């Protein structure tokens, strides 16, 4: 399901935009979430692990304007496609300070909003990240996937083990790898995801990584793990 965030400090206009989107061909099934401040949207991404696919942002807002919000979204959720929806043409030249798909004037939304959303979907589907994003509170850090060896879920936190250290985040492993090509990782256990480029050997009940780490393989996922090792592993030089 496509998650679309609408951020506009004018709640009435935000609802109007939501009604427009839900009435467009191809977007009736999208899950729309309304936010009346940049802070609320940032909180949803960092604290509630909100996986936003497209963000439709007003620009002139209190506390933080839409351009600054887009910059934060670029950092926190790089695969999210940003559309600016503004009533002020003078912002058209300023939006290039942030990565975005389209600038639409509110007065022209009936004409251009669908095209903007369709372009955002094409870019979202075509984008495959080569990194994961670790968030802790308002802080975010990109970690290249080729540095990651494995992810381990420990209670309600995830340990990200890399060649040069460990990182912790509240995000679940499946959320961290959501933007990656599926051949880049293997879920071999309820608590473990491994980088397929790091596989060195497969023994009964476990993977051995090139680092020497032993990663358990659950019975229910053993067939999938074996297929990954035999077919995906060699592709990455396993």
- pLDDT tens digits, residue range 104-144? 999 999 999 999 999 999 887 766 567 888 877 767 788 88
Contact 165, 172 (CB under 8 A): no
- pLDDT of residue 217 exceeding 90, the answer is yes
Mean pLDDT along residues 171-190: 89
pLDDT for residue 238: 34
Mean pLDDT along residues 217-224: 94
| Domains of the chain: residue spans and CATH | 3-126 (3.40.50.2300), 131-235 (2.40.50.1020)
What contacts 145, CB < 8 A, 6 or more positions away?
Answer: 129, 130, 131, 132, 180, 184, 185, 195
Mean pLDDT along residues 182-203: 91
What's the per-residue H, E or C state across the chain?
CCEEEEECCCHHHHHHHHHHHHCCCCCCCCEEEEECCHHHHHHHHHHCCCCCCEEEECCCCCCCCHHHHHHHHHHHCCCCEEEEEECCHHHCCCHHHCCCCEEEEHHHHHHHHHHHHHHHHHHHHHCCCCEEEEEECCEEEEEEHHHEEEEEEECCEEEEEECCEEEEECCCHHHHCCCCCHHHEEEEECCEEEEHHHEEEEECCEEEECCCCEEECCHHHHHHHHHHHHHHHHHCCC
Q: Is this model's pTM higher than 0.85 or not?
A: no
pLDDT for residue 211: 92
pLDDT digits (tens, 9 = 90+) for 68-109: 999 999 888 888 999 999 988 887 778 888 888 899 999 999
pLDDT for residue 159: 96
């Amino acid at each position: 399901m496509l998650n679309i965030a609408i951020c506009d400090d004018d709640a009435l206009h935000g609802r109007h935009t939501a009604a427009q989107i839900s009435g467009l061909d191809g977007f009736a099934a999208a899950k729309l979430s309304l936010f009346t401040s940049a802070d609320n949207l940032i909180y949803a991404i960092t604290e509630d692990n909100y996986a936003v696919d497209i963000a439709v942002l007003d620009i002139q807002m209190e506390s933080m304007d839409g351009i600054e919000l887009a910059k934060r979204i670029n950092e926190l959720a790089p695969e999210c496609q940003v559309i600016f929806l503004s009533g002020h043409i003078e912002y058209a030249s300023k939006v290039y300070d942030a990565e975005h798909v389209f600038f639409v004037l509110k007065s022209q939304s009936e004409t251009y909003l669908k095209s903007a959303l369709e372009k955002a979907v094409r870019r979202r589907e075509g984008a495959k990240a080569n990194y994961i994003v670790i968030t802790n509170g308002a802080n975010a850090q990109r970690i290249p996937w080729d540095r990651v060896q494995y992810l381990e879920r420990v209670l309600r936190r995830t340990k990200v083990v890399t060649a040069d250290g460990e990182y912790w985040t509240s995000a679940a492993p499946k959320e961290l790898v959501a933007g990656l090509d599926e051949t880049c990782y293997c879920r071999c256990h309820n608590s473990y995801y491994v980088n397929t480029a790091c596989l060195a050997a497969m023994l009964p009940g476990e993977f051995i990584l090139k680092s020497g780490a032993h990663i358990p393989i659950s019975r229910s996922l053993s067939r999938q793990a074996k297929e990954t090792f035999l077919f995906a592993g060699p592709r990455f030089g396993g």
